[in-house]
Amino acid sequence: MAKKHIIRRFTQKELIAIDSTLVKTVHVVEETEVQTVKQTRKYWNVLGPGLTTGASDDDPSGIATYSQTGAQYGFQLLWLSVVTFPLMAIVQEMCARIGIVTGRGLAGNIRAHFSRRVLYACTLMLFAANAFNIGADLGAMAKGLQLLQPGWNFYVVVIGFALMCVLLQIYLPYARYARFLKWLALVLLAYVAAAIMAKLSWGTVLHHTITPSISWSKDQLLLICAILGTTISPYLFFWQTSQEVENEILDGKTSIESRKEKISHHHIHEMRIDVWSGMLLSNIVMFFIIAACGAILFPQGITHIQSAAQAAEALRPFAGNATYWLFAVGIIGTGLLAIPVLAGASSYAAAESFKWREGLYRKFNQAHAFYGILILSVFVGLGINFLGIDPIKALIYSAVANGIVAPLVLALIVIISSNHHIMGKWVNKKSTTWLGWVVTSVMVLAGAAAIWSFF
């Protein structure tokens, strides 16, 4: 029996009502989309020194450390990516607040409130550690490019990268250079994509992320120290503080007094969003690199990774060309981001120590000494690649230097940021000061272990 199809005819009044409802719905959807775009753009505009600092922490040296962690221990040490996040963020927030409130960089504050011997010791050790790190990163970038272009000469490439980093910092206006570094931070997402392509066992990953586990073997303890050394590094402290000052100068606050005058809760709130976002990105990338190598290399018995380039090559047979290319591109991008931060941190520290004119906002002929230290840092690092020093040994030397200087600088940061006479109403909360001393204590232990392993 055939079914009857009943066609209802709407009245003109009903059609008008339906049309009106559809129009309202479309308007609501459009307004929601506009608001989402506005909120995203607003959030992106808030990000600045904190994002750059956090992203630079995942330099080729850090990538090698995280790759070795996953390759040697699988998912066992994934929990470190969670634990180190608040430790990093608390320290960097103190550094940023010091820069905003005092109107000067970290070395400038150390000079104003502590002994010259302490200042010069910090600056010298920072320069040495950064130079070794720059050398290791330049070598890793050259090896990374050779993965994409095998026929290119290593020494020509490493010189090219060194010159590029120096010339960009000297001749590109600071405002444009800061935007360049900010966008370059997005290259870190390559490692997130690489891990997702590895088809992880997320149940196992989650278990190891929230369940701390240590084997207490000498090798594992040293690797944990290396992770702490590469995530909580002195160069990040100096760069973060000085970049906050540079941003204030770009806003027209050219004197220390003017930078101190107009500090608002909104300003501090935005700084915290920036810092915590940057540190979160850094630790997310750390998490995914360990997870990718733990899922792909550890089961294959590939447990010794000595460079970021070697990690990419080891992943290729098991994870495919896409993961290989993402790792290779990431090595180059993170190096371009980290080397200016490492060299810049040394320049800020030296210039403030000796009261030289400083700042990337200045032109080369306005701050010869400042840019001279920057150039020297990069070319000392470059020279390491021509001396036949093993890049892993260079990282060990860097870790030892960081192990000595990090606890000292951290103690100074906590003292300055918790001093009412220096910070006024923006002084640390008691909980922040307590956590700052916890981080300092952790780094004392890590530094002692790094020095012990060296000898």
pLDDT digits (tens, 9 = 90+) for 333-384: 888 999 999 999 999 999 999 999 998 888 899 999 999 999 999 999 999 8
Question: Quick one: pLDDT at residue 176?
Answer: 80
* CATH label of the domain that carries residue 97: 1.20.1740.10
For the CA atoms of the chain, what is the radius of gyration? 25
CA distance 312 to 325: 8
Q: Are the CB atoms for 197 and 288 separated by under 8 Å?
A: no
Give the residue, 407 or 318, on which the prediction is more confident.
407
Note the pLDDT tens digit of each residue in 409-426: 999 999 999 999 999 889
User: Would you state the pLDDT for residue 389?
Assistant: 72
Name the band, by pLDDT with cuts 50, 70 and 90, for residue 108. very high
Q: Is residue 19, in this structure, part of any structural domain at all? A: no
pLDDT (tens digit per residue) in 112-128: 999 999 999 889 989 98
Mean pLDDT computed over every residue of the chain: 85
Q: Is the pTM of this model over 0.75?
A: yes
pLDDT digits (tens, 9 = 90+) for 151-173: 899 999 999 999 999 999 898 88
**How many CA atoms within 13 Å lie on the side-chain side of 61?**
34
The pLDDT of residue 394 is 67
What residues make up the domain containing 85? Answer: 54-421+430-454
The answer as to whether 286 is a domain residue is yes
Measured distance CA(97)–CA(423) in Å, rounded: 9
Which two tokens mark 372? 């001279």
Tokens standing for 136? 């290791």
Residue 351 resides in a domain: yes
Helix ranges, 321-429 (H)? 321-353, 368-384, 391-417, 420-423
Grade residue 194 by pLDDT with cuts at 50, 70 and 90.
confident
Specify if 406 maps to a domain: yes
pLDDT confidence band for 94 (50 / 70 / 90): very high
CA distance linking residue 450 with residue 225, whole number of Å: 7
- For residue 11, being part of any structural domain is answered with no
Q: Is residue 256 very low, low, confident or very high in pLDDT (cuts 50, 70, 90)?
A: low
Question: In terms of C-beta density within 10 A (0-12 exposed, 13-18 middle, 19 or more buried), how is residue 18 classed?
Answer: exposed
Give me the sign of the Cα torsion angle 239, 244, 247, 249.
negative
Arithmetic mean of pLDDT, 187-212: 85
The pLDDT value recorded for residue 374 is 96
CB atoms within 10 A of CB 79: 19
Is residue 323 a part of any domain in this protein? yes
- Residue 372 CB partners (closer than 8 Å, separation 6+): none
- How much is the average pLDDT of 9-18? 67
Q: Where is average pLDDT lowest: 55-69, 147-161, 200-214, 317-331? A: 317-331
Q: Report yes or no: 302 and 71 within 8 Å, Cβ to Cβ.
A: yes
**Is residue 185 within 8 Å of 51, Cβ to Cβ?**
yes
Closest CA to 162 of 185, 187, 127, 134: 134
Q: How confident is the model at residue 189, as a pLDDT?
A: 84
State residue 286's pLDDT score: 93
- Per residue in 14-66, pLDDT (tens digit) is 667 766 777 777 777 767 766 777 787 888 777 888 889 988 888 888 888 88
**Cα–Cα distance between 376 and 382 in angstroms, integer?**
10
The number of distinct structural domains making up the chain is 1
Quick: pLDDT tens for 212-242. Answer: 988 877 778 778 888 888 888 899 999 999 9
Percent of the chain past pLDDT 70, that is, above it, reads 89
Q: CB neighbours (10 Å) of residue 320?
A: 13
